[in-house]
Structure 1
């Protein structure tokens, strides 16, 4: 079969518009397409490939478990799921774990749990959920409505009710919405899709205090910010605020689909037998791989390495900006960074992404005004430097500078 980009248009639902190239092989922070062209990967599968492509220890975990047991359903438990749950609870505030297959599923579970907790403790009137404008929490109808981007939730009929949105980093906006009717507040401790926006410490601590005042559960969506991405195992650890429920996915499987919701024993007991479930959630194959990811990432070497590599990125991007004056600021934390375009390049982030691909560099965007970088946490320093050289060529193209490169 001749597999080309044209085949996508023939056989796939048109909700995506992938690039023309089709990668066929990856190793570390490099990718190769059908023609054998090599690319440096600053996209990381949208913050998923936390240890790069085909990390040998993940390949070993996959093949070893793949010869033992793939799937059981939750009629039975399994050793990899129990080991992974123990490691997650040992490493975080969480005492209980629910496994799913994606970030949206983990968030769906968190929201259902919060509603059930409030119903059991306070009654049906306590049902309001507050989240934040420009937030992103998944594409199920519940999670996309909780997300703060109406373009993703409009046009599908009546939306789930009792959901309100405040302005991120604006405590007064949030305080105006929260009341004793609020059952849960869902927020990203670093907004990803919304533009790589870090919270101020005062804001996140104020949200926590108001949740406590009104007996509302605080849910941290760490689908993108978790598993070492910010230089902490989870972003909450660097903010001095502990949520009641945390969701994690993306990087947790290093490329294999898995998600998880973590919470306390007291809160968890409200998801009684039969109240929620997942056929594939907690399957042995996914959990065995995620266990290995956690073993590798949750080490001082990797987490400190993230902070070092962040500085390499920041210095490199700032040097590019010194020459081309196209960025307003470099945002984010760890290896979830955004180059926010200034007013002269408003709405043109995709042009930078396309130009980067032409220079054999994969990156991302976060909205129309931010170029996003979410590479492997163990990307070699030399790959960062070479990737930034390629990105500079892309910037030169977009800016239209007449510069010759070696």
Structure 2
């Protein structure tokens, strides 16, 4: 008999401690899952989530949404629970494994679809497939079942599902044509209603506040006080042309700007449709005279920034070499535009009473431009064309909605004689 059982028999358990069961924690009558805690500062609807490495993620959400996100994160942790052996890694592409087949798919795509495989989004699409192989623990394709794929799919949030579905559909189609997934009778990532498919998550409600023209100029003026003249030019260009952040930052004075105006291809359209079918826009100074002083200011800024060929530029504190020889060390990159916009917005006190994920970002300048075009009397179809949207419904739902309410004047009424009452 062990020493513990002898002590238990004699009633002497001094020195032995037993782990107490975890006491359930409730907020608003709902039990909190593991790793989710309330905010120590007692801020309403702020939460803390303990990551696997011990770091803390602080985020803003309702109680129900915070519990949902925490449960989803816990499910993802379960996928990583099994640790690989010392001589094995997640990227070990065993012969015939899912990662091995992934390499074959990449080669096949680059040979048979060279235009798609050389687009700017190709690297991101490859990463989506790599991530699925990684999180599924690189199984053999013959072991891939609908239950395993569904478990992994439902552990993802809305945006990862939406962004990766096309790449995953292409990869599984290739596997099915090769006969490598006999346990999958259909492609679970298809979008047709005529065949079974995995159900994506519902799109979360938009909580980001729209940018008003008053707040636009408040941020614009504060950017000038902070010395962010490149950001001011970027804001003006996006407002006057509805250009995306990437298009504004890639606008070159030597290639896209002339004495007559601006000629620019929409990068997102080029990546999606190819150069032949993409949308190319022209803003002439005759029809858009307000653009001329903006471009003159961009040229002056370019001269001060060592002849930077890009319309938006700045001088970093330390010169860093660019990986691309066609770029310039004074180029204002999209990520820095967003950071400067956020800094100017916070300094101006715009929407400071809202949580950080609800405050307007630089992309809201584009939505504000679309809204002002509609108020100027232009149709949603015309606005959709310059925004390079596939149809006007996208413009209506994601760019024109959420601004001030529009009331329709009611011009009909009931004949008072029919009311049978004075």
Per the shorter chain, which TM-score range? Answer: under 0.3
Task: Give TM-score scaled by structure 2 length.
Answer: 0.24
Structure with the larger strand share = 1
Structure with the larger helix share = 2
Task: Give TM-score scaled by structure 1 length.
Answer: 0.25
Higher RCO, Cα 8 Å, sep 6+ = 1
* Higher Cα Rg, which structure: 2
